[in-house]
Structure 1
Amino acid sequence: MNKINHQGVNSLVYGVLLNVKLHKMKRTQIILLLSPNEVRMIQMLDPQGTFSTYFDLTQISDIQQKEQSKLKIINIQGEYIKLYFENPFQLITIKEGLDYLIKEGNRIQKQLDSYNQIWSSALKLITKADIDMDNKLNFKEFQFLIGELQIEIPERKLIQIFEKNQKNNQLDEATLYKLLMDITRRHELTELYQKYSSKQEGMFEDPLQAMLMTDKDLQQFFKVEQAQNDYQPKRKQYNFYDFQNLIFSEENSLFQPTAVDLSQPITKYLINSSHNTYLETNQLTGESSCFAYQDAFKMGFKCVELDCWDGEDGEPKVTHGHTLVNDIKFKDVISTVRDFAFYKDNNPAILSLEMHCCLKQQKRIADLLQSILGEMLFVVKDFKQEKFSTLQQLQRRVLVKYKGDDQFLQEKLQTQSSTLFYTQSHDDMLITFDDDDNQDIQANVKQFSQTLDEHHKKICRELLEITSLYAVSLKLDKKPELVWIVSSVSEDKIQDVIKKSHGKFQEYVDNYFVRVYPLGLRFDSSNYDPFPSWTAGAQLVALNIQTKDLFMLQNYGMFLNSSYVLKSNQDVRMNIYVRIISATNLVWEEAKRRQEEIVDPYIKIRVAGNKDDVNKSDKWRTEVVQDNGYHPIFNYQCVIQLKHAQQDVIYVQAYSYSILGDSLLGQYCLSPLNLRTGYRIIPLLNSQFKTLANSYVLVQIKIEY
């Protein structure tokens, strides 16, 4: 049983008056109280009674404490509510009360979902629709409920349904339950259910209600259709709605996790990497915060960037220099790294330091890294090691990337002639090839000679001692004497580097790190296609995670199974037979639009990755289903033929058609190597990559290798 803060819970049960700022609305006074009709909802009432709305406790993704007087509550759509408190004690009391109610709400949600997903969703909508709070719905309230469910029923037909089932111009809860069960039955599963049902009981109007699956029937279904020989039913008998709930449960997701080989040096892996991690929006005027680092780690990113600048009172700061972006303290960022770096898994984290600090504040940075991270901080012991440490050896360790220094590295390697060249600045580096006669590159060496002298003066010995990835120029004509290095190349140069290397780049990245980063001209924090760099073997392909575009979706799919993906030179060929059967709960992301407009959905499926596999994927798209976002039937079939499945991702997107431009309703992405066969659901994500409640695409998958 969860520990209860009685005072916090009671405040929310009986109502508490607070200053509140709703997403995209002005700050105002609002009474917060637990809904008397639905314990998974907090009701918000205007003190004058002119405003009433709800927020769903089961849809809260994060509660962030701002200073000592503010809480920011964020839902899975990225919408927020800010609560302002008179004192820290009131904040703590209400926060603990909310924490308890959220846990209880999620517990109840899970129980209801296991019983009946449809009714679970409808209960909360009924609470919102029941304006007069009498536990019954009049016609207007019933009409609102049907609209929220995105079910398109003509008003005349809706009136007929209501008149046939009403009592005293109201629909009670039992009647609503029956109506919704009839409306939301997944008829596309009927034939499948009948195929495996062996038992009949009693006399019913509906033949489906007379049929039952036994536990043996269900085991046979999972063995034959789902290729799951070890499925263990939880009870003896299953009716149609039980079977429907099993199909649409999270456990029946299309995604199949696979074990990760931890035995290889980490240069053998692609690593989930971010750029300008501190930013929440654009690079010129956007806001930076430690919450951006929290979000990055929660999403599975393992290489994060810290732009370090001199701060006040000797405390270094992280910010985007020479812009309007605000500052955050370096020590607060490192505390966030300590607390969240291993939130999703135990794979090592890499801190990419872009250094603009004076020597004194660099020393402070070294002190903070050691004191805050402690044993998490990985320090190089053997500089003559021929291969990087393995992923297993580096579990729950933090690696620091910092400028290489020729004199320091020669000392560690006990040599007088190092083949290493450190970077001139955070963006520019020397890239040389043994067959390159480009005079401009040779001129660059002289041009930066003065910069190199200044560089020597700014290098911090204390920071070098705890660095485990030394930033050096990319030099492909000779084998580096040190494995603990990383070279950075901008997105516009990487393909030229790969092409001119005549295969040497691929050999180089077997043992040494290469980081690819976005052009500085991407002021809007847009992204570039990561696949050419991944395909060539570059391990750290950094994207702007604050921008949830198509390339970020592909990155999501690439690292869905693990934050480290083992590179493979062995081609995996697959023929994937896909039947897109139907979808559930395809709705507009904006709440206002959901009430005003019904979607006209269609589904498209695409491949991103190796160019041999991408070219054939433009044609896979279902027909548009008019006026039915709640339960469109598609029955569309296609065959996806892949020659390099280990280098690809498959992404699915649901759109609503319009002559003015189609609108995204939901999306998902994963590696073909993580596909499960059989009748599976694709859990759709919104534009911010948060899971959409009860929004799925039902597919049937068969695979030939």
Structure 2
Amino acid sequence: MNQIVNHQGVNLLVYGILIRIKMHKLKRTQIILFLCPNEARMIQMLDPLGTFNNYFDLTQISDMTSEEQHKLKIINQQGNYIKLYFENQIQLNMIREGLQYLIGEAFRIQKQLDSCNQIWSNALKLITKSDLDMDNRLNFKEFQFLIGELQIEISERRLIQLFEKHQKNSQLNEATLYKLLMEITRKHEIIQLYQKYCSKQEGLFDDPHNTMLMNAHDLETFFLIEQGQKDYKAQKQFYNFYDFQNIICNQENTIFQAKELDKSYPLTSYYINSSHNTYLETNQLTGQSSCFAYQDAFKMGFKCVELDCWDGQDGEPNVTHGHTLVNDIKFIDVIKTVREFAFFKDDNPAILSLEMHCSLKQQKRIAEILKAVLGDMLFVIKDYKQKQFATLLELQRKVLIKYKADEEFLSEKLQIRDHSLSLYCTQTQDDLIIQFEDDMDNNVQLKQFSKTLDNKQVKKSCRDILEITSLFAVSLKLNNNPDLVWVVSSVSEDKIQDTIKKSQGKFYDYVKNYFVRIYPLGLRFDSSNYDPFPSWTAGAHMVALNIQTKDIFMLYNYGMFLNSSYVLRQNCDIKMTIFVNILSASNLVWEDEKRRQQEIVDPYIKVRIAGNKEDVNNSEKWRTETIQDNGYHPIYNYKCKIQLKHAQQDVIYFQAYSYSLLGDSLLGQYCLSPLNLRKGYRIVPLLNSQLKPLNSSHVLVNIKIEY
């Protein structure tokens, strides 16, 4: 499908538009925005008075939102933002559509350059920033700035020597700069590998840009023998060393191997990527809630999301964290977000966990909204007596509603007349009558009692919601199985451990047919997380985490569900021995931009196992040496051996740190299941602290696997 172009918006950005702007942590000012004439992936920001000049990279934009009237917020991958203020909505839409087109073009150019030469591609964007006098040439100071931005640590004396060797009229043009950067950035650790598979050996580095030494058959042989890929097809006839280097360091050559998910099993056979208090952006007492939090959750692959439902004004229910300073968002807006984003990452079913605090009247409104907005997406139970839950395949692109069970309703559906139903319907603390102190004022007692009666009415089940519910919330009782497969039991993180210790065998049998959901303790006001693996290992299907907190446990969750939002539980142990050789790393830089300009990193790499207790206890704390003052291209050649007895219950994660006497700082991280590892020479694509991809930052490894 051809993209519709807003030519007026594109023209305004190409030729320049004067606009009010607020940059991250800076005051509002007036700026001229225009597409950089020398680099089509950059927008230049110029102060009309000439006192300020800056750029932002179109390929680094992660999101654009217009939640406030006439304001457009542009957010980059580091979480920094630029806010644009417009005269009217028409102008906002025009510029947004123009930006969307230019972003698409920027990524197209980036992809072409990456396939040609990744090193040169990265440098080109920085050259625009380095060329301070904008004459398309770099003098020594500008060249020195470029080397600093690339985090290449070279002494000034050596830098002067390199500059003098290639300069003309005390400047570097594009051609000489290309040759110089190729000389600096050559990855010597893979030269021998390249030579090993080249059928023609002479003249390797006399002219590395033009000399073709590896032919298509050579490259295909390399992928067959070293990478274990039988179906690799070369794209051209000859490859020089830099072509080979680019293939090794390309995003298509990552350590991760996607695998097809078997969708033929009942839903109770899978782990499900689950979130807690999904509406929150930060903490649970004073934090912001928004529909964008649900967007982010679905974009990250979360499929079970939570909606705390409370009465709102004008008969419209809200989603919020009750009895706190958290703001309200409209329930209908959340459901519209569900309709638009629930299947953003894949078609696996979404589960809406309704924590109900609404009056009966607003519960009926909730049912109306769910049916009107979601329509055919809603999964409605046809056979309540079914002995197994519906399969994952049957539930593709369906939305399941989780709601509190009602015995009278389910007895009717199951045609049990005496209501002797084994369902263990839940009772929350809010259901209990409030106790009064003897010395309380009578008027206060009356108000409190009235409030209690209202709460009792609030807790009545709504038949309209029950009719579209497919997961009925019940208490967890292991002695007798429920009479219904369409149930789920929610257990807190502390109680589940007691349950597993006392009745591990019964719990394991129970979760074969009935859902169990684990949630964080209510005392985690800061939205911190807990280790999900003890619950996963025991067989719990939904281990809900506070996704607004990107801690180590969220990294585990990332690795667990990297392949799919649903993971099939393996019934047999998988034993693996993994041989890892950490060869080198590239572009390890500080996340904070100011620190990046002031300080070079001292990086090292850690490898760890999380998951099954036996595998974790038997693993070592693998770590490379620290390389001083070289974040651009540190060489490690560090080898380790990882032995796993329960690989199906584990994740392996890599972390890059910078050493410091005052405390080491995280530079990048990555996590995946051992079952998704690819053998051979691969890159580990690093993520930042917010689990967002870091541009061109990776670790080069060689992986060998024995089963």
TM range (shorter): over 0.9
Q: What SS does structure 1 have at the residue aligned with 2:641?
A: strand
Q: Paired residue for 1:308?
A: 309
Q: Paired residue for 1:445?
A: none
The code of the aligned residue for 2:123 comes to A
- What is the alpha-carbon distance in structure 1 between the residues aligned to residue 679 and residue 234 of structure 2? 19
Q: Does 1:531 align with 2:529?
A: no
Q: In 2 relative to 1, CA 142–203 (structure 1 residues): closer, same or farther, beyond 3 Å?
A: closer
Q: Does 1:423 align with 2:416?
A: no
- What is the alpha-carbon distance in structure 2 between the residues aligned to residue 89 and residue 335 of structure 1? 24
Q: How does 1:528-567 map to 2 (within 5 A)?
A: 528-567=530-569
Q: In 2 relative to 1, CA 238–563 (structure 1 residues): closer, same or farther, beyond 3 Å?
A: same
* Structure 2, unpaired ranges of 5+: 433-451
Q: Does 1:388 align with 2:389?
A: yes
Q: Does 1:683 align with 2:688?
A: no
Residues 653-698 of structure 1 show CA distances to partners (whole Å, capped at 9, x for unaligned) of: 0000001000000000000000000000110001111111111100
Residues 490-528 of structure 1 show CA distances to partners (whole Å, capped at 9, x for unaligned) of: 111110011112410111111101110001111111100
Q: How far apart are 1:44 and its partner, in Å?
A: 1.0
Contact 2:472 2:487 in 1 (8 A): yes
Q: How does 1:171-570 map to 2 (within 5 A)?
A: 171-199=172-200, 205=206, 210=211, 212-415=213-416, 416=418, 417-425=420-428, 454=456, 458-570=460-572
Contact 1:354 1:426 in 2 (8 A): no
Q: Paired residue for 1:115?
A: 116
- What is the alpha-carbon distance in structure 2 between the residues aligned to residue 210 and residue 53 of structure 1? 39
- What is the alpha-carbon distance in structure 2 between the residues aligned to residue 204 and residue 277 of structure 1? 55
- What is the alpha-carbon distance in structure 2 between the residues aligned to residue 203 and residue 696 of structure 1? 26
Q: In 2 relative to 1, CA 427–19 (structure 1 residues): closer, same or farther, beyond 3 Å?
A: farther
- What is the alpha-carbon distance in structure 1 between the residues aligned to residue 570 and residue 236 of structure 2? 43
Q: 2:638 aligns with which of 636, 639, 654?
A: 636
Residues 360-410 of structure 1 show CA distances to partners (whole Å, capped at 9, x for unaligned) of: 110000000000000000111111111100000000000000111111111
* Structure 1, unpaired ranges of 5+: 430-449
- What is the alpha-carbon distance in structure 2 between the residues aligned to residue 526 and residue 211 of structure 1? 54
Q: Paired residue for 1:700?
A: 702
- What is the alpha-carbon distance in structure 2 between the residues aligned to residue 204 and residue 586 of structure 1? 27
Residues 84-105 of structure 1 show CA distances to partners (whole Å, capped at 9, x for unaligned) of: 1110110111011101101111
Dislocated runs of 4+, deviation >6 Å: 201-204, 426-429, 450-453
Q: Paired residue for 1:657?
A: 659
Q: How does 1:56-205 map to 2 (within 5 A)?
A: 56-199=57-200, 205=206
The code of the aligned residue for 1:564 comes to Y
- What is the alpha-carbon distance in structure 1 between the residues aligned to residue 250 and residue 66 of structure 2? 33
Q: Paired residue for 1:578?
A: 580
Q: What SS does structure 2 have at the residue aligned with 1:501?
A: helix
Q: How far apart are 1:203 and its partner, in Å?
A: 9.0
Q: What SS does structure 2 have at the residue aligned with 1:37?
A: coil
Q: How far apart are 1:23 and its partner, in Å?
A: 1.7
Q: How far apart are 1:161 and its partner, in Å?
A: 1.9
- What is the alpha-carbon distance in structure 2 between the residues aligned to residue 350 and residue 203 of structure 1? 58
Contact 1:256 1:674 in 2 (8 A): yes
- What is the alpha-carbon distance in structure 2 between the residues aligned to residue 421 and residue 456 of structure 1? 20
Q: Among the aligned pairs, what percent are the same residue?
A: 74
- What is the alpha-carbon distance in structure 2 between the residues aligned to residue 522 and residue 691 of structure 1? 28
TM-score between the two structures when normalised by the length of structure 2: 0.95
Q: In 2 relative to 1, CA 154–69 (structure 1 residues): closer, same or farther, beyond 3 Å?
A: same
Q: What SS does structure 1 have at the residue aligned with 2:213?
A: strand
TM-score between the two structures when normalised by the length of structure 1: 0.95
Moved more, 455-464 or 118-127: 455-464
The code of the aligned residue for 1:170 comes to Q
Q: Paired residue for 2:435?
A: none
The code of the aligned residue for 2:312 comes to G
Residues 59-88 of structure 1 show CA distances to partners (whole Å, capped at 9, x for unaligned) of: 111111224412111112222211111101
- What is the alpha-carbon distance in structure 1 between the residues aligned to residue 148 and residue 21 of structure 2? 28
Residues 454-510 of structure 1 show CA distances to partners (whole Å, capped at 9, x for unaligned) of: 379621111111111111111111011001111111111110011112410111111
Aligned residues: 685
- What is the alpha-carbon distance in structure 2 between the residues aligned to residue 141 and residue 220 of structure 1? 43
Q: Paired residue for 1:616?
A: 618
Q: What SS does structure 2 have at the residue aligned with 1:270?
A: strand
- What is the alpha-carbon distance in structure 1 between the residues aligned to residue 346 and residue 208 of structure 2? 48
Contact 1:487 1:515 in 2 (8 A): yes
The code of the aligned residue for 1:245 comes to N
Q: What SS does structure 2 have at the residue aligned with 1:259?
A: coil
- What is the alpha-carbon distance in structure 2 between the residues aligned to residue 272 and residue 106 of structure 1? 30
Moved more, 354-363 or 134-143: 134-143
Contact 1:18 1:32 in 2 (8 A): yes
Q: Paired residue for 1:598?
A: 600
- What is the alpha-carbon distance in structure 2 between the residues aligned to residue 157 and residue 457 of structure 1? 75
- What is the alpha-carbon distance in structure 1 between the residues aligned to residue 527 and residue 668 of structure 2? 22
- What is the alpha-carbon distance in structure 2 between the residues aligned to residue 644 and residue 658 of structure 1? 35
